[in-house]
Copies of this chain bind each other. A is one copy, B any other.
């Protein structure tokens, strides 16, 4: 009913001008914090501040009303009290504002009176064709125009993942955590009360957005009165082209009760949701952490054509853990052919394991590592490879060797460190090359706590998929496989998303991420 057309969502995420209605000089008010976020975030359009009772906020001119601004306004961000939002929306309608982000709470989520107020606002916006975000939203982020119209001061990096969240705090938290795991975002919307624009509308828009390769969502319950029909229609179309990864909250009885109290969502039966999601080809994450782990996997990796995993490990124990993790995630530890084993025999010491996991038994020879990686990743015996401990071991050694007291001669030590660093670079380049060459996933597990800036930057640039533990790597791989099966069975298109080329195809993820829409 009050659903906004997609073109207005395009304006919402790409506004040339924004009016912040309710600007304040009080640093404890959102009228101060949100414009600060927008300004420090270096929004590429124009920001106008509105408040009839202020002259200057953040050293900028303040307009008494949105209509007092001479230029056109694409988006209004509203933080005024709930009782004023209807009249503010009427002003926005007169001004020709295309989209409105209503931060203000105190609507449908608070009871009957708030619901009445909400209905009024929706009706005004709907008549004027204004795309209404919220109310009770934490805001919107868009990388294309560097827009951080958000309550919390988070700074997601640009990327290829779009997020919609029925929880503002969880959504902005995901943006923040994403930065830690090297995940960049195209767009984010905190959907708030979803009085007008709902989760499925954002997903539909993300589905058509050429910059977005992966869609992720935090859902407590579907809000429409249509029993989820439209959500299902939208999702069914998009999962043929792009992965949708969902974290469903309110799974338990206590969680469902909390969801009802939080967002008014009817969490619904866990089983019904899980079955529906599976049939729609939606990938389901079971923890917050996994939602990001999977986004990372789908953003940068090709899909495995089968479930046979080759494991290359620098240590036996981690090989065992990885074998367990693969099997427990529904993958297979690949059986290596005699031909492959005899090839590996030529490279490894005679006492190597002669099977999968391929244990490098502590050999320090970088050439042997590369050779084994090539043999394994290139073999028809495996559909994907997990590489343990070969990447990112260097800087720790160098750090300790160089910075620790008590060592009289660091000459040999730093030579050793350099050798290791060179090894990291070689392995990263080789993994990147092999992923393109064989179009199969190679997932790395970095067995180190050290954040080597150089390595991380290099890995991101080369789009190397890395996790801190084998369990997380195996789980991510299993979901890539699950999606490939879905595409294969449902679409018969041999397991490839057809809309956009993943970055491993272009050999340069950074280039892909910043390409203009006109391409």
Contacts and interface: CB of A to CB of B under 8 A. Distances in A.
A472 B286 CA distance: 12
Contact of A449 (B179, B263, B288): B179
A40, A251, A253, A328: which has the most chain B beta carbons within 10 Å?
A40
Given A39-B407, A58-B408, A412-B25, A255 B318 contact: no
B58 A288 contact: no
Interface string A151-184: 0111100000000011111110100110110000
Given A110-B351, A318-B170, A413-B27, A250 B448 contact: no
Interface string A101-133: 000011001110000000000000000000000
Given A40-B407, A317-B220, A327 B177 contact: no
Interface in A349-397: 351, 353-355, 357, 359, 361-362, 364, 389, 393, 396-397
Interface in A65-80: none
Nearest to A409: B59
A254 interface: yes
B416 A321 contact: no
A261 interface: yes
Contacts of A464: none
A323 interface: yes
A351 B258 contact: no
A279 to B, nearest CB: 22
A437 interface: no
Nearest to A252: B327
Contacts of A333: 254, 257-258
A180 B396 CA distance: 13
Interface in A201-248: 218, 220
Nearest to A253: B327
Contacts of A36: 401, 407, 413
Nearest to A417: B27
A170 B364 contact: no
A167 B39 contact: no
Nearest to A397: B153
The residue in A314, A326, A396, A412 that gathers the most chain B C-beta atoms within 10 A of its C-beta is A412
A61 B261 CA distance: 73
A266 interface: no
A86 interface: no
How many copies of this chain are found per oligomer?
2
Contact of A169 (B324, B389, B471): B389
A249 B320 CA distance: 6
Interface string A305-335: 0000000001111111101101110001100
A400 interface: yes
A415 interface: yes
A506 interface: no
A431 B510 CA distance: 44
B173 A42 contact: no
Nearest to A286: B471
A372 to B, nearest CB: 16
A101 B315 CA distance: 19
A317 B355 contact: no
Contacts of A326: 252, 254
Contacts of A364: 28
Interface string A46-64: 0000000000001110000
A179 B327 CA distance: 29
Contacts of A359: 261-262
B327 A400 contact: no
B40 A324 contact: no
Given A28-B364, A218-B317, A262-B316, A327 B254 contact: yes
A287 B289 CA distance: 14
A259 interface: yes
A17 interface: no
Nearest to A393: B152
A338 interface: no
A268 interface: no
Nearest to A165: B317
A177 B58 CA distance: 43
Q: Which 3 A-B pairs have the closest CB atoms?
A: A167-B317, A169-B315, A262-B316
Given A58-B408, A111-B351, 14 more contacts: A32-B412, A36-B401, A153-B397, A166-B317, A169-B315, A169-B318, A173-B448, A176-B448, A257-B333, A261-B316, A262-B316, A262-B359, A289-B471, A289-B472
8 contacts: A42-B406, A105-B361, A111-B351, A169-B389, A249-B324, A254-B323, A261-B316, A289-B468
